[in-house]
Structure 1
Amino acid sequence: MAKSRVALAALAALAGTLAAPGAWAQNFPISAAQKQTANEVAQKGVPLSELAPNAPDSYTVKSGDTLWDISKLFLKSPWRWPELWGMNLNDIKNPHRIYPGQVLLLERLGDKATLRVAGSSGDGAAPDTIRVTPRTRYEALADLALPALKSRVIEAFLAEPLIVDANELQAAPRIVATQEERVLLTRGDRAYARGSNGAPLMDDQAKQQLFRLFRNATPLKDPGTGEILGYEAQYIGKAQLIRSETTGEVQGEKGQPESAVVPATIDIVSAKEEIRVGDRMLPEPARALSTYTPHAPSQVVDARIVSVYGSAVINAGQSQVVAINRGTQDGMEAGHVLAILKDGQRIMDKTDPARPLMKLPNERNGLLMVFRTFDRVSYALILEITDSVRVGDRLINPR
């Protein structure tokens, strides 16, 4: 039982997967490059110079830990999880699950270090005996496994940001009227909507239809060139389609029958802010299982921060989301970790009588991780910073 427990506890070992709550994650993929790195490290260990300065000799995994936390504990570069996995490759066959209660042991041999699980072969300790009484236990493995990052930090942004082209939002169905001519709508209110381009809004599916509500597509401009990379639609809430859009007859001014549009009926089921006539509707996509394996990009990256999501200010702090000027066309993918560079100050050399202008070197200011990508824009979460992050700051490979 103890050996089985150790094996189960080791399954996630430090691979960095963030799963949607309640989802099963035993079969998340590992890239060939990550496997190769782990195998190489398994053969020779990690150089002591790559360990964190205060890396502990042992650590007991706790509830609430994340892969990022544990990686930072042992390594200087938390995104280098394949090395951490490789340090423990004999114990961790599937690096996608690690559980609270597992004890990780750091061993330093010469100028190399390896990591293993307490109770594994070579430990010399006898496995604990666990006695269980014959009763039914219900326990969700996904609730126990450690994620790469705390999901609450990022979940809200998985649905909200939307990049559209100049005409996409204008072609979407729209709210056209409210009950009792109300100006602002919120959760629980009823409203009426119509389709666009001659296509009526139809409730023609077996299951309920949900729509996200958006407003004001704001242009995102490249800080370097000024080119518009896309339009960021402002997420304001969600609505459920109750009845289809149809047509009916009404009595005209002279008493003759006339055809009239009967708009579709919708109910507001959630509201981030007040909703009004003219706001646009896009179908709610099926919920997809999203995984995030923090890793450095294989290609050279030179990017810039375009905007701070959900804010009119140009400064961003810890755990905020920013848009960057690189997308899938540039090779960006979910999980890419980038280093943030703070632009060096421009000052005069007061020690020189000629007072020449100097630009101080750009300094590393923290790390961010890409979690959602579009063609030319991506959204990224600021993982750690030493000073505020500004629109226009440069992003490069983390090492």
Structure 2
Amino acid sequence: MNKLRLNESLRPSLLATLAAVALAGMGTATAFAQAQSYPVTPQQRAVAQETAQAGIPISELAPNAPDEYTVKPGDTLWAISRLFLRSPWRWPELWGMNLSEISNPHRIYPGQVLYLDKSGGRARLSTRRGGAADGTIKLSPRTRYESMAGMALPTLNPSLIEPFLSEPIIVDEDTLTTAPHIVAGNDNRVLLARGDRAYALGDANSPLIEVAGPIKTFRVFRNATPLQDPATGELLGYEAAYLGKAQLKRSQTITTELDKGKEVANVTPATIDIVAAREEMRAGDRLLPEPQRQLLSYAPRAPEQIINGRIVSVYGNAVQFAAQNQVVVINKGTRDGIESGHVLAILKNGETMIDRAGAPNNTGKAVVKLPNERIGLLMVFRPFDKASYALVLEINDTPRVGDLLVNP
């Protein structure tokens, strides 16, 4: 790993760390480069500038916000923001508390110390004890050698969502039904695993043809599960179950021959090798091209528009209840303005019950609906058109399919 030679007197402010978000399992050096170019929205910058001038009310700080904190490798943006603020997604305000020392809020330099200044009834952060004082910082110049691997701090633990960035997908009905499919395994194998050879066919619109360049890789999926909006009944798409990966070794071909004076087309399936397998594959499973790996940054934030949604499903074996750090599908997508990084509050849908001691209604029973209770937070990390994947960040009760989602 390349070393960076950093002069301590020129080292940028640590608070840049607090807006750096590098997920998707990206390499640390790549994450660093990606973080530098990740945009700050005008709204986020405006909030930061306003906070830089006035600070934030003491009441907006987390109850146990420390007077000082040293950021260390392994920290996450979510954890550090929660350390100082009641609402972790409000990172622009945390950035604004030290805006004068930050030129780029997406750069990452662990190791410096944050000091919390609560003078005058307002809170500010500084990288110097006691705030700005007279603006003079005494430094003893020295050289430090650090690996770039220590610079990239993720928003969350990347292992929680990395598989979902390339494995399960939400598609429309035609996407899978028209995709190439496995015809058979070599040596009459019925079930296919890593290392097996198989044969597959595509139609006229998506033939399996070799092209110049890298070997073509496909993801293998099985029949998709319909996703239905719990509130409206609308079909949001189909969740395709990821099985593994295959590489194209030989193109499918079409030859013609005369049979009783008529031309007959003979189709020879393409040859594929199974190079990764989560589950065993079989004839009929579908192939979709492996997408280019996307290096994405996520800034946890509340949606700018009003969101009223629901949890559609919990990923994995048709379970109804979700745990912390589990992935769920929600009934809001890009058509609703949902973006990666949007944080939503989970509300337990209050039960409707009979109040046996209350006054009856026209049915002879007193029916009441219990209030909706906030039970946690989730963050969207992979939006599709009508639905999105989201990670359950924190809970104080058990979310389930059908629970409500609102702005945090």
Whether these two folds match at TM > 0.5 is yes
| Aligned-partner residue type, residue 12 of structure 1 | T
SS in structure 1 at match of 2:347: strand
Tell whether 2:213 aligns with 1:206. yes
Alpha-carbon shift at residue 140 of structure 1 (Å): 2.6
In structure 2, the residue matched to 1:126 is 138
Alpha-carbon shift at residue 205 of structure 1 (Å): 2.9
- Cα deviations across residues 8-64 of structure 1 (Å, max 9, x unaligned)? 644333354536224222111100000000000000001111100000000111211
Tell whether 2:221 aligns with 1:234. no
In structure 1, the residue matched to 2:93 is 83
| Aligned-partner residue type, residue 342 of structure 2 | H
Q: Comparing 272-281 with 89-98, which one deviates more in the overlay?
A: 89-98
SS in structure 1 at match of 2:118: strand
In structure 1, the residue matched to 2:187 is 180
Question: Structure 1: how far apart are the matches of 2:128 and 2:193?
Answer: 54
Aligned partner (choices 112, 115, 119) of residue 109 of structure 1:
119
Contact 1:13 1:94 in 2 (8 A): no
Question: Structure 1: how far apart are the matches of 2:407 and 2:225?
Answer: 28
In structure 2, the residue matched to 1:18 is 23
SS in structure 1 at match of 2:273: strand
Tell whether 2:61 aligns with 1:51. yes
Aligned partner (choices 198, 202, 222) of residue 215 of structure 1:
222
Question: Structure 1: how far apart are the matches of 2:297 and 2:366?
Answer: 51
Tell whether 2:73 aligns with 1:68. no
Alignment: residue pair count: 389
Distance 1:104 1:12, change over 3 A: same
- Cα deviations across residues 57-112 of structure 1 (Å, max 9, x unaligned)? 00111211000000000000000000000001112221112332121111102221
Question: RMSD in angstroms over aligned alpha carbons?
Answer: 2.4
Aligned partner (choices 217, 226, 245) of residue 252 of structure 2:
245
Aligned partner (choices 148, 151, 167) of residue 140 of structure 1:
148
SS in structure 2 at match of 1:316: coil
In structure 2, the residue matched to 1:330 is 336
Tell whether 2:37 aligns with 1:30. no
Contact 2:310 2:405 in 1 (8 A): yes
Question: Structure 2: how far apart are the matches of 1:389 and 1:365?
Answer: 7
Distance 1:110 1:121, change over 3 A: closer
Contact 1:344 1:360 in 2 (8 A): yes
- When normalised by structure 2's length, the TM-score is 0.89
Aligned partner (choices 294, 297, 302) of residue 308 of structure 2:
302
| Aligned-partner residue type, residue 177 of structure 1 | A
Alpha-carbon shift at residue 184 of structure 1 (Å): 0.9
Contact 1:16 1:68 in 2 (8 A): no
Question: Structure 1: how far apart are the matches of 2:234 and 2:258?
Answer: 52
SS in structure 1 at match of 2:174: coil
Distance 1:343 1:10, change over 3 A: closer
The residue correspondences of 1:252-271 to structure 2 (distance < 5 A) are 260-271=266-277
Contact 2:17 2:110 in 1 (8 A): no
Contact 2:252 2:271 in 1 (8 A): yes
SS in structure 1 at match of 2:200: strand
Contact 2:350 2:369 in 1 (8 A): yes
SS in structure 2 at match of 1:90: helix
Question: Structure 1: how far apart are the matches of 2:205 and 2:64?
Answer: 65
SS in structure 1 at match of 2:18: coil
Question: Structure 2: how far apart are the matches of 1:328 and 1:336?
Answer: 11
Question: Structure 2: how far apart are the matches of 1:189 and 1:333?
Answer: 39
In structure 2, the residue matched to 1:313 is 319
| Aligned-partner residue type, residue 377 of structure 2 | L
Runs of 5+ in structure 1 lacking a partner? none
Distance 1:239 1:138, change over 3 A: farther
SS in structure 2 at match of 1:390: coil
Alpha-carbon shift at residue 357 of structure 1 (Å): 2.2
Q: Comparing 7-16 with 33-42, which one deviates more in the overlay?
A: 7-16
Question: Structure 2: how far apart are the matches of 1:323 and 1:283?
Answer: 23
Runs of 5+ in structure 2 lacking a partner? 1-6
Distance 1:287 1:213, change over 3 A: same
| Aligned-partner residue type, residue 395 of structure 1 | L
Q: Comparing 229-238 with 240-249, which one deviates more in the overlay?
A: 240-249
Tell whether 2:399 aligns with 1:392. no
SS in structure 2 at match of 1:234: strand
| Aligned-partner residue type, residue 52 of structure 2 | A
Distance 1:74 1:173, change over 3 A: same
Distance 1:51 1:90, change over 3 A: same
- Cα deviations across residues 170-206 of structure 1 (Å, max 9, x unaligned)? 1001111111111111111111111124653101131
Contact 1:13 1:92 in 2 (8 A): no
Percentage of pairs with the same residue = 55
SS in structure 2 at match of 1:12: helix
Contact 2:173 2:238 in 1 (8 A): yes
SS in structure 2 at match of 1:236: strand
- Cα deviations across residues 232-272 of structure 1 (Å, max 9, x unaligned)? 111111111111112468999x9xx9863221111111111
Contact 2:112 2:127 in 1 (8 A): yes
Distance 1:320 1:199, change over 3 A: closer
Contact 2:182 2:286 in 1 (8 A): yes
Question: Structure 1: how far apart are the matches of 2:95 and 2:298?
Answer: 16
